[in-house]
Structure 1
């Protein structure tokens, strides 16, 4: 894979955005309380072993599904297609790539969902039909172009921003994102041989939506972090104080990344999953012929744009936690 990637401007964008995400946790109620009381989400539904949560400006009926499991990690990531016809086109591309695909009909408040996995084993669900969030008297917004009332509590997370996965084979996954899903690589970290070690892919005009980082353990299917956006940097500073008072483990930040220029705070929720509270400002990728920005090992050795040096656990912690490298 070349370090000077360009995106074909004639390629149709058939994915609109990243939709809801499933998160596994061994301590369901503690994780639920973290997201509701500390992060500011709202519980909107329950079933036998899971809790559905909503960020205050998500137009869809739920944002995160917490699922009781023995170990932490990421479940399905749902992708909303740009149209019903886009679902058909993506289905054809997935099938042509020889990727197994099945249809699920039982996903809460989504229509037919096409299930498939990336080359590393992370599960995705492609959908079009969706039930929109309907506010009630307790969270009805004054502005009708807003999903729910401004929460104004806890970290006050506005929406899901991106998912960062760990992968055993980043080049293979990068080809899948580009050739099958039609994403574009906006930035990447490259090794000395020019192959990608970490990739940031966009499916719309946001600077990035799906991120994959090489898993130092060689295992597959793990999560690095799930990220949520706030309106301002100041809200991230407030989130740090909120997490401090709540006894939440603050791993690192607030700092500013050099890659993608994201202002960030990383914390661990009670189940062990890393959560990023972030703000990328007004950075959008508007150029249809954007050329991938590549960062070398020497450039990355300089650390963050500013702030403290990257903490060691940022490179070693992922979920589910593994005791030793694969093989």
Structure 2
């Protein structure tokens, strides 16, 4: 299986991107197509510890910057690395794409080249969050800051299918992120979405509050992209702050340092669980192809794991499963576009 990788996207491109691809090829036999400036990528490959025949280069002369308007840049820069990567998927040369570049540009390139899965109104970015009980999928985390009830309904179905196909959860519990557990709570959006989810083909748990997300109360947490992005960034910031505060407290006295030595293995395991790199990237659900969006600060480990997530999504038939879920019975609850 070949996967296209936007080698020029991200804060640490192209070095960390290339290294992540190299590690993925060595560990799991993936074939990765690096998309970007050929001369630059050849130099990076030459500096690797050993050659890898599973790395291919497709030349792209342009890069879309983080501060560019995504839709405009994708149409104007036809030879941008993320655009070329999306075109490789459309042509059938590769099965999926991964990018740590501009999220908006990645989504725009995917939509322009692949379109949406028939019946899906808007794509959503689904992030996997570590919880007390394991992990929870949160969506949307930034693709759509303004949503209608039908969008949250579709997010719930797509998130539930991702939990089944990729995480192996038989009947994922789906919760609607709200300011209270009662069905009457919330704004107009959540109040109108609640009855739709009750009738949807998902295991609807009900409303959940922000604190429930990291407790692992549900397997899939649904919200609009504004709320989801705030939750995601708050969680990342809190995890980082907690680790720093714990480290500081452990250095306050000799006794604390002794205790820190004894708990070091446990702390390392905790740090690993909280590290977004371990989860790779977030799938862009709803587009008619497999796209994994990585954090802009991703290094080799995150890129490697994102490539693995892309392969798993293809092998699990995720896109086909989402499309097959759009059958006539769910049209009555406004599942398909046009509600």
Richer in strand (by share):
1
Relative contact order higher in (CA < 8 Å, ≥ 6 apart): 2
In terms of Rg, which structure is larger? 2
Q: TM-score, normalised by structure 1?
A: 0.28
